[in-house]
Amino acid sequence: MQVALTREQRLELLQRLLRLSQSIGNTTSSSGAGLSIDTPIFDLNFDLNIPGLGGGSTPSTPSTIPALLATLVNEQVVLSTPGGTVSGTLISVQTDYVVVVQADGTLNLVPLSKIQTVREL
């Protein structure tokens, strides 16, 4: 059974596929899954490198606080600093600071150089 798509439907499908591929992320694993969509209108082929599929290596444990924090974006964390603890959702990791939003909406900018420990909630 063939289904003819309108131009708008084709564009929407392509946009969704792009969002899907971007949400999976850009990994450098040598193993992955291929995706091929062939229709009378277009052919779309690309490789999805998905960690954990195939015989690729397992991800390494982050060895620095910034590397660890980068894996915890959009997660609940507790950061200890010389001035006390900061807890909330980690929303951004920058070159010299992180941004944590507390439950009440307060934004905390915490210098990376002041973070002593990191704990995920």
Amino acid 60: pLDDT? 72
Amino acid 43: pLDDT? 56
More confident residue, 102 or 39: 102
Domain spanning 65-120, CATH architecture: Roll (2.30)
Listed as own residue / partner, the contacts of 31-34 with beta carbons closer than 8 Å and 24 or more positions apart are 31/55, 31/56, 32/56
- CATH 2.30.30.100 placement within the chain: 65-120
How far apart CA 4 and CA 55 sit, in angstroms, is: 39
54-92, pLDDT tens digit by residue? 545 556 778 888 999 999 999 999 999 999 999 999 998
